[in-house]
Chains A and B, each alone.
Chain A
Amino acid sequence: MNQNNQTRKILVVDDDPVIRDMMADILEFEGYSITIARNGSEALQLLRSGEEYLVFLDIMMPVMSGRELCALIEADPHLRERHRIILMSAMDNLEEAATLEVDAILQKPFVVDDVIDILEPYMG
């Protein structure tokens, strides 16, 4: 399963190491290598580098939340165009999540198949 489009990298943004580790475990089995950021601020630095990312973005994070990051991406058409954003959101935040300009929403808690299904259109 390593025939993935390597032009786009995967970035997992979450302040919770449990979730970050789990995403890494899941995606590595699928043959993806992932980059990690612990908050919006760290993610933004990576997004501003030349790479194209598929971003798994948590909403509630210290320093810079997923919401704040979304707003910054939205304000920068160049960033918005280059990267695909998948929001990881709990059920109780879905409504709010729907207001953000993202490409897809991954509802927590999720199973491995959910992750694979949601990333394939962007990585396949």
Chain B
Amino acid sequence: MSTAIWGEHEPLTAVEKYPLPLLKKLLQEMIRQFGATGGCMALYDESVGLMNIRMHLRLRNTDPTLVGNSTDGDTASFRRRVTIDLSNPSSSTTGRMKHISQSLDSDSIVSVEKSAFFPVGATYSSGQDLIGYTWRKNEPLIIRHEDYLVSFQSTEQKSFPQDTTPEWYLCAPIQIPELAFDALNRRRPTAVIGVVLLYQTNYAIAFQQKHRFEAQQFSERIALYILNDQLRHLHLRTMDYMQGLQQISTAFPTAVKLSNLVEDVYQFVTNVVDVSSMLLTFYDRDTRKIYDVFAIDSGKRNDLLLEQPVVDTPDSRPVWWRVTQEEKRTLLLTLDSQEPENYSKYEELLKGTWGDQSRTETFLLLPMKMFTRVVGSLCLTSSHTDAYSPEEILILETMVQIITVSIENAKLYDRSRQSLLKAKQREESLAAMYSALQVISTVLHVTELLQKFVETVANLVQAEMCTFFQLSTDEQELVAQAIYDTTGQWRDVNQSTNKDEKHNDLIEMIRLPFKGSILEHLVEDETFFYLDSTMVEELAQASAEGGVIFLRETHIQKMLMIPVRYQMEIVGILAIHTPHSNRTFRPEELGALLAISGQAASAIRNAQLFEQIQEAYAELQHMDKLKDEFIVTASHELRTPLSAISGYSSLLKRQSGRITPQQILRFATKIGSATQQLSDLVSNMTEAAKMGALDKKLELQLGPVQLLTAAEMAATMLSINIEQKITLHIADDIWLQCDAMRLRQVMTNLLDNAAKYSPPDGRIIVTGSATTLSKLPEDQVDYAQIAEGFDLPVALVRVCDEGEGITPDDQQKIFEKFVRASRSLTTPIRGSGLGLYICRRYIEAMGGRLWLEQSIPGEGSVFSFYLPCIDPPIEKSMDDESE
């Protein structure tokens, strides 16, 4: 809505208020009807309070300076016709107007712009001169020129021009008939709106008494014409106002700009009424504040107001409050000296943002009503008395009503748009939160989960940095688990994210004290709290290095701490840093954070549980796999001796009639050997079980053992079943401090393996030699023993075969617990033992080492071990052992 609409209105000009062309015609007619030589018409000028001569007309032929073509006949005919017209009240105004305008085509009566007497523009106060006198007397008057001179020109003889010296004057007030006022139901304004004066230059043709009455009637008609015309204009203007109002009301809701609105209001108001000052005030129910938003003091605008409205409380504006909020009425005050109580009673309204209005004449307050509420007021003052007429007030009230509705609409619109915006934002943040929660809830990896958590939180509230501290299991301290940092301060920590372990190590250096610290108390009592710099410093003093760096280097001014609880149990603390601004979070942000923290707590707990379950499950799976492999292998190992027992015993039975005693012996030996194998297997399995996850210490029966004897026994036992020839190169004076049975088992195992992977004609050579620890291959020595200054005497045993060798892949595996060997099903290590794993365990338990010395594919392998050596014992025990 542009102010141009209002600009289209011309201010009410004299021409508008007094339609001069019409008045001229009326005066012309009057001159003719009364047979006058000329006349003038003075009209009341409100602005100066004087009668002002607006026109002066004279018969053309009476003025020698004017040349006219009118004739007496014309004059006569005009007089007749006009008389008819004017005396015919039934004819319409426009109809009469038409006749008049037609009848005056002759131009016999013309304007005199520069008359020697009663010139156009001359003004008269009440009682001054003939016009002022008639005005005051308010009745028609006929006076002779001599009398006029005596009565009104007494002081100094005014020289009248000779040619047109009036002899008679007929003067009548123009006043609106009483009836018209009644019909309009308005207070009677200035009774006399003008004075009409006719003069006659021919002394012989005097005005008669009847003319006084006729003049009165005629002037009343003039008044009616004027009134009618004014009403018509008023009507047109009202139409314009209405149009303006409509435009105001349709324009506002879509684009209300307060500055434009008040400007429009001001323009509108000044168009309707006289305004010297104006004040627009709003009242905001929510804040209970009064705002002066627009003020004009005597035409001068207070430009600052729009930017910085004056704010008041209802208490400081009691009168305004009473009038607008309690009385809720339009207040019209006359401020002249006759009513001094108005001034004292409403002084508050008259002074303030719009200056001091107490010297004005009229004050008008229009409440801005929205249903029963009053949301503000529009105050106007005018320097004129009775400046605001009832219908003008009505228009203003309408306007105020419209702008009130518009402003409220705009406010509502804005509010609903804002709440829509807010709702949308909330929806978005909820959606973000939901998806964040989704992510969090679905992540079961604790580290990943926590990283997501802090990242989500930081993004949700646009925090520079966010850290999650987990309460240590002993509840002594809080250990950082995840940091999200946009400032780059902790980028070093974050960048090593890929190297998970290192990353966590670094982060976990950041520890804050919990037990006995301020944190413990705050966590107990609060759902959230802020750490200020004093508290941060207090914490830093109780922290270890990592925590100190964290607390001091991040320059924390304020840190939001949210305890993360799972049910009632503290899981940790979420710390939201805002190192670069002293920020307080909004309630809705806190709400979201608390919600997400609650969700995260259970997600963290879930993930922790899941991880525990995962670990337990993995352990279980591992155990299960071991068990399966164990069963498969063990049952296979059991199957061979069982098959032998079953086969040979059935053979004995089937062939009992044909079988030779030698064969019986051989078969029985086989059965016995298989039984021994079974028996060994069972005891070894028991041993292996003992060496399970619990890593129980082996029960050893240590004693002196002759190496050669142990080797011979093993070789003899094996030789029944193997084709390869076993050669022993062992001195008989090598004695070991060990468990005899274990040693025999190790030897049997090594020989069995050698045989299994060697061709039938392959040789198996066992060597035994006494040496010391320092002479052994470097990588097989426990240097701690040497460093003690004691070079241990040991026996080195080597088992060499000519087998296929062991692939590099398998060289390490073969020492793992047999059940874990990947090719255990296809390349089982069979025999009385359960593999190199047990052998190694045995040797190590007895203070030695066992290793694969070399393995060359196609040529053979060498397994070696050493055990501590001792001096040979006395003869007796030697005999016992060799049995």
On A, residues with C-beta under 8 Å from B are 15-19, 21-23, 25-26, 29, 38, 60-63, 65, 67-68, 90-92, 108-113
Contacts and interface: CB of A to CB of B under 8 A. Distances in A.
Among A21, A65, A112, residue most surrounded by chain B Cβ atoms (within 10 Å): A112
A92 B827 contact: no
Contact of A109 (B642, B825, B827): B642
Contacts of B654: 29, 112-113
A111 B646 CA distance: 6
B655 A29 contact: yes
A22 B670 contact: yes
A70 B25 CA distance: 138
B641 interface: yes
Given A22-B647, A63-B804, A90-B635, A29 B658 contact: yes
Contact of B644 (A19, A60, A63, A68): A19
B658 to A, nearest CB: 7
Nearest to B722: A17
A29 B674 contact: no
Identify the 5 closest CB pairs spanning chains A and B, nearest first: A111-B650, A109-B646, A109-B643, A112-B650, A22-B647
B579 to A, nearest CB: 66
B223 interface: no
A59 B667 CA distance: 25
A62 B756 CA distance: 8
B404 to A, nearest CB: 92
Nearest to A67: B826
A108 B639 contact: yes
A21 B647 CA distance: 11
B721 interface: yes
Nearest to B677: A18
A16 B651 contact: no
15 contacts: A17-B722, A18-B641, A23-B647, A29-B654, A60-B828, A62-B826, A62-B827, A62-B828, A90-B635, A90-B636, A92-B635, A108-B642, A109-B647, A110-B646, A110-B647
Contacts of A109: 639, 642-643, 645-647
B488 interface: no
A72 to B, nearest CB: 14
A103 B680 CA distance: 35
B412 interface: no
Among A18, A65, A68, residue most surrounded by chain B Cβ atoms (within 10 Å): A18
B591 interface: no
Contact of B643 (A65, A110, A113): A110
Contacts of A63: 804
B830 interface: yes
Contact of A111 (B635, B647, B723, B827): B647
B360 interface: no
Contacts of A65: 826
A60 B826 contact: yes
Contact of A92 (B632, B646, B650, B673): B632
A60 B646 contact: no
A17 B723 contact: yes
Contacts of B653: 112
Contacts of B673: 18
A62 B636 contact: no
Among A15, A21, A22, A113, residue most surrounded by chain B Cβ atoms (within 10 Å): A22
A22 B641 CA distance: 11
B342 to A, nearest CB: 115
B675 to A, nearest CB: 12
Contacts of A23: 647
Nearest to A62: B827
B640 A112 contact: no
Given A60-B636, A113-B650, 20 more contacts: A16-B640, A17-B721, A17-B722, A18-B641, A19-B640, A19-B644, A21-B670, A22-B644, A22-B670, A25-B667, A29-B651, A60-B825, A60-B826, A60-B828, A62-B827, A92-B631, A108-B642, A110-B647, A110-B650, A111-B647
Contacts of B49: none
Contacts of B658: 29
B636 A25 contact: no
Chain B, interface residues (CB within 8 Å), range: 35 or more
A90 B650 CA distance: 18
A113 B646 CA distance: 11
Interface string B668-684: 00100110000000000
B757 interface: yes
A21 B721 CA distance: 9
B19 interface: no
A50 to B, nearest CB: 23
B352 interface: no
Contacts of A61: 826
A26 B804 contact: no
A26 B826 contact: no
Contacts of B641: 18
Contacts of A21: 670, 721
Given A17-B721, A62-B756, A25 B639 contact: no
A109 B651 CA distance: 13
Nearest to B721: A17
B760 interface: yes
B6 interface: no
A71 to B, nearest CB: 12
A25 B825 contact: no
Interface in B603-654: 631-632, 635-636, 639-651, 653-654
Contacts of A111: 646-647, 649-650
A112 to B, nearest CB: 4
B640 A26 contact: no
A26 B646 CA distance: 12
B646 A25 contact: no
A26 B651 CA distance: 6
Interface in B141-184: none
A108 B643 contact: yes
A22 B648 contact: yes
A19 B641 CA distance: 9
B305 to A, nearest CB: 96
Given A17-B721, A63-B804, A26 B647 contact: yes
Contacts of A91: 635
Contacts of B655: 29, 112
Contacts of A17: 721-723
B640 A18 contact: yes
A18 B646 contact: no
A27 B283 CA distance: 119
Contacts of B826: 60-62, 65, 67-68
Nearest to B659: A29
A12 B643 CA distance: 15
Nearest to A36: B760
A19 B651 CA distance: 13
Interface in B747-783: 756-757, 760
Contacts of A112: 647, 650-651, 653-655
Nearest to B633: A60
A110 B639 CA distance: 10
Contacts of B804: 63
B603 to A, nearest CB: 44
A109 B638 CA distance: 10
A63 to B, nearest CB: 7
Contacts of A113: 650, 654
B672 to A, nearest CB: 12
B756 A15 contact: yes
Contacts of B642: 108-109
B757 to A, nearest CB: 6
A56 B639 CA distance: 16
B818 to A, nearest CB: 14
B54 to A, nearest CB: 129
A92 B804 CA distance: 29
A67 B674 CA distance: 26
B632 to A, nearest CB: 6
Contact of A25 (B631, B651, B760): B651
A58 to B, nearest CB: 10
Interface string B568-581: 00000000000000
